Chain A
Amino acid sequence: QKEVEQNSGPLSVPEGAIASLNCTYSDRGSQSFFWYRQYSGKSPELIMFIYSNGDKEDGRFTAQLNKASQYVSLLIRDSQPSDSATYLCAVRFGNQFYFGTGTSLTVIP
């Protein structure tokens, strides 16, 4: 069984702060890693993917991957109320994707 674990939260941050979301995974053979955002009642939408150790930045978002520690994180800089959502971590192993249960983020104006 391939496990993907996230802190369910809720995580609350003030507007303009940095939000830090974390994810660990159990299988060292996992190949690529994804962060999705899901608004209530909507489908998941891709924010970022990463497959090499280190950091990857895209606008206000930075994904960090540490394969030795089996850890992937997402930083959201200058958090906005529109960032309030559930963030899903996903891990691809072979042709299957495994998802965490998500972290609920609330950005307080």
Chain B
Amino acid sequence: DAGITQSPRHKVTETGTPVTLRCHQTENHRYMYWYRQDPGHGLRLIHYSYGVKDTDKGEVSDGYSVSRSKTEDFLLTLESATSSQTSVYFCAISESIVLAETQYFGPGTRLLVL
């Protein structure tokens, strides 16, 4: 398994509270991604990073922010959690973007916003 951990693995929070999810990798891969997975929607990209302090938005970035101050850590923050952000969140890493390069996924974080 690729060296990817996510914390926390499970979280229950209330609407309006801030939440930060952490992704940590030991592979020294350049690219890191945050996805959410919901029934009927599959995996959707929230934000991604292509280097330290270099990030960009994905297709469902509203309500989320990210930061990457070190190669190994990529943080996802929900500034003010809403019930629509209840989901399973996956972090993924990729060494490069050449044709054969793929993504490897972390174990996921289950977030419930009440």
Contacts and interface: CB of A to CB of B under 8 A. Distances in A.
Contact of B40 (A44, A96, A97, A101): A101
B16 interface: no
A101 B45 contact: no
Contacts of A96: 45, 48, 58
Interface residues of B, number: 25
Contacts of A99: 35, 42-44
Contacts of B92: 97
Contact of B106 (A43, A46, A88, A98): A43
Contacts of A90: 43, 103
A98 B59 CA distance: 10
Nearest to A43: B105
A34 B102 contact: yes
A101 B99 contact: no
Nearest to B59: A1
Contacts of A97: 33, 45, 92, 103
A102 B50 CA distance: 27
A32 B107 contact: no
A80 B99 CA distance: 30
Interface of A: 1, 4, 31-32, 34, 42-46, 49, 51, 88, 90, 92, 94-102
17 contacts: A1-B59, A31-B99, A32-B100, A34-B102, A43-B90, A43-B105, A43-B106, A44-B105, A46-B103, A95-B97, A96-B45, A96-B48, A96-B58, A98-B45, A99-B43, A99-B44, A102-B42
